[in-house]
Amino acid sequence: MENRISVIIPVYNVRKYIEKCLDSILNQTVPFDEIIVVNDGSTDGSEIVCRKYQSAHPGIILIEQKNLGLSEARNRGMKRATGDYIVFVDSDDWVSDCMCETIKSIVADRDLDVVYYAAQIVKETPVKISSEAYARDEETSGIVMNGFDSLIKLFPSYYQMSVCMAAYKRVFLKEHGIDFIKDILYEDRFFSLRVVTEAEMVVYITDHLYIRRFRPSSIVTSPASRKKIRDVIYGHLREWQYIRGSENWIKEKSLTQYYVLCGAVMAHQNDVSSENTQAESGEYLTAFFKEWMDYFEIDIMGENELCELLLMVNRAAENGNRELIEVFDGMPGGGILRYQERIRELLEKKYKEKLGRLPFREKKQIALYGAGKHTDCLLWLYQYLIGVIVSEIDLIVSTTKVTNPNNAYVVRCLDEITDQWDIYILSSGVYQEEMYQNLRAKSIPEEKIYRLYDKNDAVDCVMVYEALFS
């Protein structure tokens, strides 16, 4: 018997986007068996659009509720759903026309708890999100694993498990009591954590079934606020309490430690993103590490984790957070501050190897894609660690032609780029994939494009500059 699939769309003040979303769900090669739209008290006319679509398509189930938040909207949809599998779609995003057909083909002959798929991203506002973060690994595609084993194999490269990038077996969610925490932002992180811990049959596929839009004023792109910071901290403390009670997580101590660190990094990013919230978020970050310091073992940490910690130490010092410095210094193993020299040595060795592979000491014409802080740091680091640059270098920017502050290099707009340079180096860890696609669209041969970073490299030159040389 064919599995039925329910799609749940929470809606709140997305009049500008909701039609594209609903059209993509309705125009499937194989239709969804159940479409549930939850209007969460919209006031911008989104509710009118939803009613119009329900009138034209009577199969749409429209649930109206007062504004209770995204979690409550999703939970309400889950309670109403009757399909064998549930798919979540945010109302400002859209989906591939073959989403339902692909999912049904994957679950047809296997009793899967979760099917994870890839997503494309569309940026309508500057945001440091890489397309690679929403990809899936070809090597593991289609292989059935339990959830925790999949996390071990894919972490940290693919721990971008948006709830909208998966189809969940409804009975699995119900049996394990997995739903969304009410009244907080980033509600999907704890949901995803529980899913990946409890799931016994998981498949990852490389198909781009979801298209995620990053728009102005969304949760991800909005600036830090007290609520945003509090929710980050609360969410991660709750996750930590859950992790502490899981034998799987505790056995994989290095993985657990890294996951916890990711939570701290999120708080740290909020800490430095807004002057108005630095003091308060600094207090929360201190509480973070007080809670976790007895668990950390610095000796089992890798280069990336050590660098993340050291960067946070440096930031805490810059912000005058002496209490946090004391917490760091009191960590088991002698404290992070006593490891600075070791970290510096590791980083210097790593970047000598990485930068030494660049052809800057050859008489070549090089296009360096990027003209910001990262590129300045890259060029400075090369000369500091390797030696004099001999190559003729021009800089490329994606949109606007700018002048390099030191006037050392010619800056060219992407629009005027042709196949005239010997090599094109992508000077970004975050936007590397986007840069690559931009060059390929200009007919630059693939063999001429040099990717400086692999997808597992969490430490870019900016971080190295701040952690190693500041």
Alpha-carbon distance of 234 to 183, in angstroms, equals 11
| pTM (2 d.p.) | 0.65
pLDDT digits (tens, 9 = 90+) for 396-453: 988 765 555 556 788 888 888 888 899 999 987 667 888 898 999 999 999 999 988 7
Which residue type does 408 have? A
N- to C-terminal Cα separation, the chain: 63
Confidence at residue 159, expressed as pLDDT on a 0 to 100 scale: 47
* Short-list 208, 330, 199, 224, CA closest to 274: 224
pLDDT surpassing 70 at residue 387: yes
Confidence at residue 231, expressed as pLDDT on a 0 to 100 scale: 66
Confidence at residue 294, expressed as pLDDT on a 0 to 100 scale: 60
Q: Which residue has the higher pLDDT, 36 or 327?
A: 36
Cβ contacts of 283 within 8 Å, gap of 6 or more: none
Mean pLDDT of 378-399: 87
Mean pLDDT of 227-253: 69
Going by pLDDT thresholds of 50, 70 and 90, the confidence category of residue 272 is very low
Fold of 5-214: Spore Coat Polysaccharide Biosynthesis Protein SpsA; Chain A (3.90.550)
As its CATH architecture, domain 358-462 has 3-Layer(aba) Sandwich (3.40)
pLDDT digits (tens, 9 = 90+) for 61-74: 999 999 998 999 99
Quote the percentage of the chain above a pLDDT of 90: 37
Residues 247, 249, 253, 257: is their CA dihedral positive or negative?
A: negative
pLDDT surpassing 90 at residue 75: yes
Alpha-carbon distance of 272 to 416, in angstroms, equals 36
Confidence at residue 76, expressed as pLDDT on a 0 to 100 scale: 97
Going by pLDDT thresholds of 50, 70 and 90, the confidence category of residue 115 is very high
Alpha-carbon distance of 55 to 47, in angstroms, equals 12
Going by pLDDT thresholds of 50, 70 and 90, the confidence category of residue 28 is very high
Taking CA atoms, 139 is separated from 149, 153, 193, 401, 458, in Å, by 15, 10, 23, 40, 21
pLDDT surpassing 50 at residue 131: no
Contact between 313 and 286 (Cβ < 8 Å): no
pLDDT digits (tens, 9 = 90+) for 328-376: 776 655 566 666 666 667 667 777 888 888 899 998 999 999 887 778 8
pLDDT digits (tens, 9 = 90+) for 208-228: 999 988 765 554 444 445 565
Contact between 214 and 127 (Cβ < 8 Å): yes
Q: How many CB atoms lie within 10 A of CB 186?
A: 17
Q: Which of 137-141, 254-258, 381-385, 460-464 has the highest mean pLDDT?
A: 381-385
pLDDT surpassing 70 at residue 139: no
